Amino acid sequence: MRHSIMRFAMLMRLVLAVGCLLQAASMTVSAKEDVDAALEQATKAALDRISPVVVQIRTVGGLEVVSGVRKGLGPTTGVIVDPDGYIISSSFNFASKPSAIAVSLPGRQEPLNAQVVAQDQTRMLTLLKVEANNLPTPAFVPKSEIRLGQWALAVGRTWADVYAGPPSVSVGIISAKDRIWGKALQTDAKVSPVNYGGPLIDLEGRVLGILVPLSPQRDDETAGVEWYDGGIGFAIPMEDILAVLPKLKQGTNLTRGLLGIRMKSRDQFSAPPVIGEVGPGTAAAKAGLLPGDLIIEVDGKPVSRYAQIQHILGVKYAGDRVSLKVKRGDQVLDFPNIELTGPPQATALAFLGILPMRDDPEAGVAVRYLFPNGPARQAGIRPGDRIVRLNDQPILNRLHLSQVVSRLAPQSEVTLDVKRKDADKTDKIKVRLAELTPELPEDELPEGTLKQALAPQQPLVLPGGGPGGQPRPGPMPQPRPMGQPPRPRPGRDKQPQPKPEVPKGVIQHTDPATGHAYWLYVPENYDPNISHGLIIWLHPAGDTMEQAMLRLWQDLCKKHHLILYGPKAENPTGWLTSEADLIREDLRKIAAEYTLDRSRIVTHGLGQGASFALYLAFDARDQVRGAAVFGGALPNLPRDLSGPPLSFFLVGGGRDPEIEAFRAVKPALEERKFPVNYRELPEHGNGYVTDPGVLRTLMSWIEGLDRI
């Protein structure tokens, strides 16, 4: 009896526990339903409030591919910001340079023609104007009131009925503030080309910001588009837009404010912010900043790495001011109220008129070839002579001489110390530099390498020695070819050990983590003591052309010391700008295994691959020295044209349906002072060019990329 009572009591306790759990679950489900219903109701109310100011934008005409990216099809979005017909949108929507823009306003049957008024080129915004007045404008949220984790709605106008239908919406939160060097809010709401230019709003229907694609590395109209629908979207705070709206309404394009410096290290997150270069005529140069200065404070804020400086400067425009504090030696110097300048203007490069000998361990630069009309030939320099000084500055090697000459202006007069071939004397020769032109060397050039890429650098000793009969001190060790270990110091380090055997022939590679794939052809006669050029083959959409390229290029690679690298696009419809990062990493891996000549790394593409080749040449400018393209177009060049020299080899077919867009590439590049070799084949279409004459000229162009 006692056991029966105990069992009954246990059963009752179990029934009560289950009942409590069921009641709690019911309450939880009910609470969740209440939250969902409240969110749905708030979202609908917010859409009702914002709908009157969200417009639909359609563009007509323009280019199909922009910066290697195929432009989006269909309408996109804008937001009314002024009752007199001013509308803000994302610059991405107009990157194709459309011939006409139509804007459909909510509640109006007929669309209105719109004109571009001005652009904010650092925040990727475009201001439009339509002939209308008394238009509604939205309320906005001050930046001080925006909170991490708050609800955020990404709104757009796509194919919906603009006259009566609501806009589209995606729900998320504010996941970060002050992103992209302080310029943007970040959201996890879905953001894509259909709502670029639309508002990011709160649950009260107030505008937090305007949705745009952005990238921390680039500032062109398509930068950041590769992240769409990926859980990361950006919006420019509405408060910041309204602050510059009066300037935009006046037709003033706003550009990024620049100091005009390059850091000594490329590591922007760890290395100290030591200035490596100061551009001539820049804000930094006018203020008196010098290479070697360590920046320790910006606008009163201590800094220890370049990323912090970029975060402070990222929100500033040309004409804004900044104050710096730098350490120069043992001194701490103040530079108050420096007025920032915009992107540097295009300037022509200076030209000495020589091709240097490669893989040369001796200090200075041995002259391999003289351009017929170049300044060096006219001044009496001869093949085999060695340039050892420029304006009394010791010359380390061909890379050093190229850098020194590139900093000078055309028509500058320089004095060269030239050690004559087979003569125990050094002459001082005055040379007036010319402007770099697309002139090509002769087809048949003398051998370009001394085959000593891994040899230790020899010290510079001029005839007669230095003061007191002692040899003059030599320059610093020669910068090594890409991917090679540091050179030993004569008399102090051991001689370099032979490099282990590396794979040759056709090599297939697939990254097991990402699935990214590429093929590589290393000529069977590869010698690590010869620095090899690298051809980055970017195939047209849907066809890697691997076998055709191998048949055509194997002999060329053997003869001209080239390696052929063929990454494979992840998307069958064509290349994405995000794949540039994968290619850059591939280049680093290839350079770590093979001896690469950094002056002969070239992008090469056909069709949409050609557009991407042009894009990649600018995006990877620290690694690439030229682009050779068959067809393709890149109408929107980067605004910051500073950096290492670039050259272009363009071949188009007269029967190519896209020939007009291709023809526009040449003047766009020439306007920016890039040397361009252009050929148009009247009877050719849009396929790969196999004409022997064109290929010989292409090889001559590649051989001449290290001209000085």
Place of tokens 């230790």: 456
What pLDDT shows up at residue 39?
A: 77
State phi, psi for 280 to the nearest 5 degrees. Answer: -65, 135
What pLDDT shows up at residue 3?
A: 44
How does residue 14 score in pLDDT terms, banded at 50, 70 and 90? very low
* Amino acid in the structure at residue 629: V
| 352 burial via Cβ count (<10 Å: 0-12, 13-18, 19+) | buried
Q: How far apart are CA 16 and CA 27, in angstroms?
A: 16
Lowest mean pLDDT among 311-315, 534-538, 545-549: 311-315
For residue 659, give the H/E element and its range: helix 659-663
What pLDDT shows up at residue 70?
A: 45
Contact (Cβ atoms closer than 8 angstroms) between residue 193 and residue 89: no
* Amino acid in the structure at residue 143: K
Give a three-class secondary structure readout of 345-398: CCCCCEECCEEECECCCCCCEEEEEECCCCHHHHCCCCCCCEEEEECCEECCCH
What confidence tens digit (pLDDT) does each residue in 297-337 have? 999 999 999 999 999 998 999 999 999 999 999 999 999 99
Contact (Cβ atoms closer than 8 angstroms) between residue 78 and residue 128: yes
What pLDDT shows up at residue 270?
A: 87
3-state SS class at 24: helix
Half-sphere exposure of 476 (CA within 13 A, CB side): 6
How does residue 262 score in pLDDT terms, banded at 50, 70 and 90? confident
Residues with Cβ within 8 Å of residue 326, at least 6 apart in sequence: 275, 289, 293, 294, 295, 296, 332, 333, 335
Mean pLDDT of the chain: 84
Sign of CA dihedral 575, 580, 585, 588: positive
What confidence tens digit (pLDDT) does each residue in 215-234 have? 766 555 555 555 555 568 99
Q: How far apart are CA 441 and CA 618, in angstroms?
A: 25
Q: What is the edge-to-edge ordering of all strands in the sheet holding 294-298?
A: 301-302, 294-298, 321-328, 331-339
Q: Is CATH 1.10.287.3240 the right assignment for the domain spanning 354-462? A: no
What confidence tens digit (pLDDT) does each residue in 504-515 have? 999 999 988 888
How does residue 7 score in pLDDT terms, banded at 50, 70 and 90? very low
What pLDDT shows up at residue 471?
A: 34
Say yes or no to pLDDT of 626 above 70: yes
Q: How far apart are CA 419 and CA 449, in angstroms?
A: 19
3-state SS class at 201: strand
Contact (Cβ atoms closer than 8 angstroms) between residue 232 and residue 138: no
Half-sphere exposure of 533 (CA within 13 A, CB side): 32
* Amino acid in the structure at residue 396: L
Say yes or no to pLDDT of 701 above 90: yes
Say yes or no to pLDDT of 446 above 90: no
Report how far Cα 544 is from the mean position of its chain's Cα atoms.
24
What confidence tens digit (pLDDT) does each residue in 470-502 have? 333 333 333 444 444 444 444 444 455 555 689
What pLDDT shows up at residue 645?
A: 84
What pLDDT shows up at residue 11?
A: 44
What pLDDT shows up at residue 253?
A: 93
Say yes or no to pLDDT of 180 above 80: yes
Radius of gyration of the chain (CA): 31
Say yes or no to pLDDT of 5 above 70: no
Residues of the chain with CATH 2.40.10.120: 49-249
Q: CATH: 3.40.50.970, 3.40.50.1820, 3.50.50.60, 3.90.1300.10. Which one for 505-703?
A: 3.40.50.1820
Residues of the chain with CATH 3.40.50.1820: 505-703
Half-sphere exposure of 436 (CA within 13 A, CB side): 29
Contact (Cβ atoms closer than 8 angstroms) between residue 184 and residue 236: yes
Which tops the pLDDT comparison, 564 or 633?
564
* Amino acid in the structure at residue 594: Y
What pLDDT shows up at residue 10?
A: 47
* β-pair type (65-66, 69-70): antiparallel
CATH code for residues 261-339 = 2.30.42.10
Contact (Cβ atoms closer than 8 angstroms) between residue 619 and residue 643: no
Neighbours of 300 (CB within 10 A): 8
pTM as predicted: 0.70
| 302 burial via Cβ count (<10 Å: 0-12, 13-18, 19+) | exposed
Sign of CA dihedral 165, 170, 171, 173: negative
Neighbours of 703 (CB within 10 A): 22
Which tops the pLDDT comparison, 285 or 495?
285
Say yes or no to pLDDT of 49 above 60: yes
What confidence tens digit (pLDDT) does each residue in 51-96 have? 999 999 988 865 554 444 444 456 889 999 999 999 999 988 887 6
Say yes or no to pLDDT of 12 above 60: no
What pLDDT shows up at residue 407?
A: 80
The pair of structure tokens assigned to 229 is 């629908």
Residues with Cβ within 8 Å of residue 26, at least 6 apart in sequence: none
Place of tokens 């390498």: 449
What pLDDT shows up at residue 574?
A: 86
Which tops the pLDDT comparison, 343 or 603?
603
Contact (Cβ atoms closer than 8 angstroms) between residue 219 and residue 256: yes
Report how far Cα 107 is from the mean position of its chain's Cα atoms.
42
Fold for 49-249, please state it: Thrombin, subunit H (2.40.10)
Q: Where are the alpha helices (DSSP H) in 138-178?
A: none
Residues of the chain with CATH 2.30.42.10: 261-339, 354-462
First to last CA, the chain: 108
State phi, psi for 244 to the nearest 5 degrees. Answer: -105, 0
What confidence tens digit (pLDDT) does each residue in 647-700 have? 999 999 999 998 988 998 999 899 888 999 999 999 999 999 999 999 999 999
What confidence tens digit (pLDDT) does each residue in 365-420 have? 999 999 998 999 999 999 999 999 999 999 999 989 998 898 888 999 999 999 99
Q: How far apart are CA 636 and CA 88, in angstroms?
A: 20
